Structure 1
Amino acid sequence: MVIKRIDSAAARLMGIDGANFREPAGEPAMLPPDSVSWRVFRNPVTMYIGGIAAVLLELGEPRVRHGVWDHSSFKRDPATRMRRTGLAAMITVYGARSAFEALTGRVNRMHARVQGETDDGRAYAANDPDLLLWVQATASWAFLEAYHRYGERLGAAERDRYYGEARPGAALYGVEAPPASAAAMQALLARMLPQLEPSPVLDELIAILRTADILPPPLRPFQRLGVRAAIDLLPPALRRQLGLADPRLRRRERVLLRLLAAGARRFELPSSPARQAATRIAGSGYGQDALATS
């Protein structure tokens, strides 16, 4: 009964309650089970921290900020928006190819309608290749860094492989040349740094993420800790550029986050998209070696 309740709460948090990753039977995902991405995306603790860090970086770019804040439900209903984003991330890695292709089609059609001007008169469009690149790359970076810090230390070759794995999926979103290595990602962050800026929207977002009804009441302390961990995940130069305060995580808080992430790795819940996807492709001959050891 306890496991069932935890499983239900975790599924709701990730936006996958009611989602079915077991169908169509035998259909592969965009990535094989032995990919680095399957390991990174299956940890809900690090995905939660990384997801917040990604949003902070995205909204630090003024054109992206206006596109998200002015044209989405994030401000009025952050919990639902985060769950939809979480579901999209899970489909990207674990969903059947047909489900992922349908998702990208819907997102691309929605992006085609999002356009406007920033407060200082700069035009923006959600399907701008530069903005698509920033959103895709920051999400990839943040999920990887959160997993690397709190879930499992990854070697240089694994990190590069992870970035390379994102390219086929990114192409369907219209991202032409996403970073293919950790070095390329660092170069993009350095290039974008001068374009990032502080904003009252970031302060409002952080306040919302700390207090909104996102996690169940017993987990609200982790919700606030997760926000601080996400800010701490950002390199100091990025935090300063965005005007974010030093979160000052205590050593015991870092240890707690690592223990929670380790527990999530060790005790995978029944509703886990990775577990469902493994069931879907079992018997298809696709990635059988990886499935045997996952």
Structure 2
Amino acid sequence: MDLNTARTRVASNLFARVAGPNAREIRSRVHDTPGPRWFAEDRPIRRVHADASLFVGGLRALLLQSLHPLAMAGVAGHSDYRGDPWGRLQRTSTFLAMTTFGAAPDAQRAVDRVRGIHRRVRGTAPDGREYRADDPHLLTWVHIAEVDSFLLAHQTYGRAPLDQEGRDGYVADTARVAEALGVPDPPRTTAELADRIAAYRPELRGTAEAREAARFLVLKAPLPLVARPPYAVLAATAIAMLPPWARLPLRLPYLPLTEATAIRVAGHGLVRGLRWTLAT
């Protein structure tokens, strides 16, 4: 088997794992359906969401999002992330692809599906507070944690990091999707994004559900043996991008010297490998 054949096979397996068994069909619909898109080809959101650094940012986002007790209660009570983690990943990746690159009608349908699911997700958290997934306050937290993570991963490991104008442009682009999902007045610059995250910090803490989710994501993800070493690098890289205030509640390690050297080098190697594999 030559190198290109091996790369094609690995890429097909990775696409199937991330996008589902109908990955090629979804990819064709996203990129080949004619019509206007929500975002022009030169927009920053397309650059960020097309880069392999998104894998690192996605895991970091899940860890960060888990720190809001009500958001985590909704995931624990209504998401089968333990029994079907790949299904959840596939639905998320399809949503990102459709809203970023897909035709405008398909992007709107993807948003409508998510909003329909959110309307049905409600319950009571372990601390006695009621929650609902379409609560604008919770939607905002999920959005800003995701945007912050994707952007930081791209700036750290992306092929072509954005300048300040591009970073603000990315935050503004994501606000288009956030508003469609029901987020009121999402941030549109990196300064606004940082301020919004800081405003949520008094609400964040490490619940038992959040720590269990972190353990699952970092240590117990169902993977074949061959995928476990690279996933360990992915997990270490995502954890290294979390601020110390987010790690302590989740009982995640903080090793600044190792993170600045070995983990950073390993993270770059992993993302370059993913980028090479997916360039088929």
Q: Please tell me the TM-score bracket, short chain as reference.
A: 0.7 to 0.9
Q: Structure 1 residues 236-245 or 52-61, which shifts more?
A: 236-245
- What is the CA–CA distance in structure 1 between the aligned matches of 2:8 and 2:92, rounded to whole Å? 23
Match of 1:213 among 222, 233, 243: 222
Instruction: Measure how far apart 1:263 and its partner are.
Output: 4.9
Show the counterpart of 1:10: 14
8 Å CA contact 1:196, 1:242 repeated in 2: no
Given candidates 231, 234, 246, the residue that maps to 1:238 is: 246
Return closer, same or farther for 1:103/1:259 CA change in 2, 3 Å cut-off.
same
Task: Between 57-66 and 238-247, report the one with greater CA deviation.
Answer: 238-247
State the match for 2:183 in structure 1.
Answer: 175
Given residue 56 of structure 1, which amino acid in structure 2 is its aligned partner? Answer: L
Alpha-carbon deviation of 1:108? 0.6
Number of residue-to-residue matches in the alignment: 268
How far does residue 175 in structure 1 lie from its aligned partner after superposition? 1.2
* Deviant stretches of 4+, over 6 Å: none
1:60-71 aligned within 5 A = 60-71=67-78
Among all aligned residue pairs of Structure 1 and Structure 2, give the percentage whose two residues are the same amino acid: 29
**Pair 1:194–1:242, CA change in 2 (3 A):** farther
Confirm or deny: 8 A CA contact 1:54 1:139 kept in the other structure.
yes
SS in 2 for 1:112: helix
TM-score (norm 2): 0.88
Higher percent of residues as helix: 2
Q: Which of 122, 128, 146 is the equivalent residue of 2:129?
A: 122
1:158 shift after superposition = 1.2
SS of equivalent residue, structure 1 residue 249: helix
Query: Could you say which residue in structure 2 is the equivalent of 1:20?
Result: 26
Corresponding residue number in structure 2 for 1:91: 98
Distance 1:143 1:20 in 2: 22
Cα deviation 1:230-277 (Å, max 9, x = unaligned): 12111222323544322543623312322333455566534xxxxxxx
- Equivalent residue, structure 2, for 1:29: 37
- For 1:106 and 1:219, the matched residues in 2 are separated by 32
- 2:271 matches 1:261: yes
Whether the 8 Å contact between 1:38 and 1:93 is mirrored in structure 2 is yes
* Structure 2 contact 11–278 (Cα < 8 Å) conserved: no
Q: Which of 180, 188, 193 is matched with 1:185 structurally?
A: 193
124-133 or 51-60, which moves further after superposition?
51-60
The change in CA–CA distance for 1:126 and 1:204 in structure 2 (over 3 A counts) is same
Aligned residues: CA RMSD: 2.0
Specify the SS of the correspondent of 2:131: strand
Helix, strand or coil at the partner of 1:116: strand
How far, CA to CA, are the matches of 1:2 and 1:265 in structure 2?
A: 15
Structure of higher RCO (CA pairs closer than 8 Å, 6+ residues apart): 1
Aligned residue in 2 for 1:48? 55
Residues 75 and 144 of structure 1, relative CA distance in 2, 3 Å threshold: same
